[in-house]
A and B are shown apart, each in its own frame.
Chain A
Amino acid sequence: MAKKKMAIIAAQGSLDWAYPPFILASTAAAMDMEVKIFFTFYGLPLLKPKIKAKVTPAANPAMPMKMPFGPKAFQAIDWPIPHAVSGVIPGFDSMATSLMKKQFKNKGVATVTELREMCLALGVELIACQMTMDVFGFEENDFVEGVSFAGAAAFLDFAAEADIQLMC
């Protein structure tokens, strides 16, 4: 049986959007699929050795604000912090980011860096978009080892034959 193929476009660089491409790609590779992720626009920084992705409540109106510690009833509270407030408090995004990271760690979710390492170990091809690299001033050696480089046509040539195509 021919290998199933999956093509993913990762165009977002915030912490919440960093997870889906790496989770789906590592899972698909574990299911013996051939997987390529095309990192473009704000997805590019996810290929840097140190991933500094943050999450911002301002861009996610439906994001629950929950505390990853304390008694269960306390953790269940969805803190009603208006964007007018969260958007102007300095450091609010950093706080929301560390809360999300803690929550994920508590639940046994791997970090984005760990998921990326698994993807590479399982043979997922991580492709940096050449054009957006030039636009945003990235060099090939800004990224982790194992990343490849291509343009839209080269990626679409693979995507055209893929069984699953996703945009994250």
Chain B
Amino acid sequence: MSHNDEIDCSGMSCPLPVVKSKMKIDTMNPGEVLKIITTDPGSCKDIPAWANRVGHEMIEEAEENGKYYFLVKRGE
């Protein structure tokens, strides 16, 4: 799936991946997709919880070589 923008939060710990993702997705339009890259294991639950809480759609979650990838579609 393609994405419109990307934010790399590798090396960042809680709460930075969530806060940075929020700041990034706020600059995007509803319906656009943000790709989030993290290395913090806590973010596996934090990013979906954040997206769900604020009404963004979690499209994809994956892990590869110690990195976590998320595709989040911005809600209204």
A residues contacting B by CB (< 8 A) are 23, 26-27, 29-32, 107-110, 115, 118, 121-122
Query: 1/0 per position for B1-23, CB-CB distance to A under 8 A?
Result: 00000000001111110110111
Measured between beta carbons, the chain B residues less than 8 angstroms from A29 are 22
Tell whether, in the assembled complex, residue B50 and residue A108 are in contact, meaning their CB atoms are under 8 Å apart.
no
User: Contacts A30-B50, A31-B50, A31-B54: A108 and B11 contacting too (C-beta < 8 A)?
Assistant: yes
User: Contacts A31-B50, A31-B53: A108 and B16 contacting too (C-beta < 8 A)?
Assistant: yes
Number of residue pairs across A and B with beta carbons under 8 Å? Answer: 44
Return the chain A residue nearest B53 by Cβ: A31
Measured between beta carbons, the chain A residues less than 8 angstroms from B49 are 31
Within the complex, the shortest CB–CB distance from B39 to chain A, in Å, comes to: 8
User: Contacts A31-B53, A32-B53, A32-B54: A26 and B13 contacting too (C-beta < 8 A)?
Assistant: no
Tell whether, in the assembled complex, residue B13 and residue A27 are in contact, meaning their CB atoms are under 8 Å apart.
no
Q: How far is the CA of A102 from the CA of B51 in the complex (A)?
A: 31
What are the nearest 3 A-B pairs in CB distance? A30-B22, A27-B15, A108-B13
Q: In B11-41, which residues have CB < 8 Å from any A CB?
A: 11-16, 18-19, 21-23, 40
Question: Which residue of A30, A32, A107, A108 contacts B19 across the interface (Cβ within 8 Å)?
Answer: A30
Q: Give the one of A23, A31, A107, A115 with max B CB within 10 A.
A: A31
Measured between beta carbons, the chain A residues less than 8 angstroms from B23 are 30, 121-122
Q: How far is the CA of A107 from the CA of B16 in the complex (A)?
A: 12
Within the complex, the shortest CB–CB distance from A164 to chain B, in Å, comes to: 12
Tell whether, in the assembled complex, residue B53 and residue A108 are in contact, meaning their CB atoms are under 8 Å apart.
no
Return the chain B residue nearest A31 by Cβ: B53
Measured between beta carbons, the chain B residues less than 8 angstroms from A23 are 14-15
The 13 sampled A-B contact pairs (Cβ below 8 Å) are: A26-B15, A27-B15, A27-B18, A29-B22, A30-B15, A30-B18, A30-B21, A31-B53, A108-B12, A109-B13, A109-B14, A110-B12, A121-B23
Q: How far is the CA of A118 from the CA of B16 in the complex (A)?
A: 9
Measured between beta carbons, the chain B residues less than 8 angstroms from A107 are 13
Within the complex, the shortest CB–CB distance from A51 to chain B, in Å, comes to: 18
Return the chain B residue nearest A109 by Cβ: B13
